[in-house]
Amino acid sequence: MPYLFTSESVSEGHPDKVADQISDALIDNFLAYDPNSKVACETLVTTGQVVLAGEVKSKTYLDVQSIAREVINKIGYTKGEYMFAGDSCGVISAIHEQSPDINQGVDRVTEDADFETRANAQGAGDQGMMFGYATNETDNYMPLALDLAHAILKELSALRRENSAIQYLRPDAKSQVTIEYSDDHKPIRIDSIVVSTQHDEFGSDEAMLAKIRKDMIDILIPRVKAKQKHEIQLLFNDEIKYHINPTGKFVIGGPHGDTGLTGRKIIVDTYGGKGAHGGGAFSGKDPSKVDRSAAYATRHIAKNLVAAGVADEVLVQVSYAIGVAEPCGLYVNTNGTAKVDMTDGEIAKKVLEIFDLRPYAIEKNLKLRNPIYQETAAYGHMGREPYTGSKTFNKGKDNALTIENLEFFTWEKLDKVDEIRSKFGL
């Protein structure tokens, strides 16, 4: 019998995502000026206030207030009427030095140690389990409902910044997509779409809500549909149930409408409820924290396995003990879709022959000790297009720094497909 599956996304102006972006901007600045920085930074945002807290071990000093304000302004919180604006909000810092009890299990080698010495000596920054997932139902190997939910909000953000077709949009927004699947797990149609967008107040409530609904259905959704490949476009239909700002007007929003905290959107950040999640957030953590780096590594594994044709979908779990380099275990689940004559346990054993899951090896192989994280903090850490670019820090200041040839979203590269096919005889 056909079934429904739903995923949601939130915009870069959602309070929790504002917090994530500030935390990751701090990570990037620390890594830009001291690549060996160890950082765990949490952010809280509320009406007119930003609170930064966390633990840092670094050789650099940052003007954290300026960094937070720059992020907030870039998102679009620039007006006093929002009750939260980059140039006027208060920024309180309670960041302090990292506990030596934690650090001793991570830093145990000299600067000139070779790769193997470092890889065996650098233990995991914490215990826990991390999951990666991939499916071939989309070109970027992501679950379709989440992919469309992200696409809706990316297009809504583009409309807001264009300020032409729709001129009343504010930064805070959420979306949700429900898809009907067949018994053999193929998407049949889009059943419903939810869009809740913050907006300026204009006209009567009734006229305002009617215009917003019309613009979302007649302007936003066609733009989203037009950017999908033909097979996905066919899932859009005249029977879609639209819920546009279903609670009514949404003028009060952002950190004024709801307090935001780093790490509260971990399902939006990953797979929209498909696969699994180990519970650890990503933003605000340097790559020695396996909550982040190992989640990227398992996504890299899962995506390359599916792209190589090992299975139609793959879930990968890895687990660690704090201070220990070798993983406690690796688990692979193909959900009965394997295309090779192997058990999932045998597939896992082959995976360990191809991928080095020691924390230092993950950092090096995926080039994670670089300032590449603010870009991950909205619209998902997974399913993004890898690219190479440059970033400038403290532009216009005496210590301005531009870093060239940064590789972003390296865990999305399909660089292991040939080796996997060789190992699996495909």
What does residue 414 show for φ and ψ, rounded to 5 degrees? -100, 60
Binding-site residue ranges for ATP: 14, 172-174, 249-250, 258, 264-265, 281, 285
What dihedral angle (degrees, nearest 10) is formed by the CA atoms of 253, 254, 258, 261? 170
Binding-site residue ranges: 14, 16, 42, 55, 98, 172-174, 249-250, 258, 264-265, 281, 285, 289
Nearest to 107 by CA among 38, 33, 30, 27: 38
Binding-site residue ranges for Mg(2+): 16
Neighbours of 355 (CB within 10 A): 22
- In terms of Cβ atoms closer than 10 Å to its own Cβ (0-12, 13-18, 19+), residue 59 is exposed
Binding-site residue ranges for K(+): 42
Alpha-carbon gap, residue 133 to 135, rounded angstroms: 7
Helix (H, G, I), strand (E, B) or coil at 9: strand
Alpha-carbon gap, residue 46 to 52, rounded angstroms: 12
Angle at 41 between CA 367 and CA 196, to 5 degrees: 95
Report CA torsion sign: 243, 248, 251, 257.
negative
Binding-site residue ranges for L-methionine: 55, 98, 258, 289
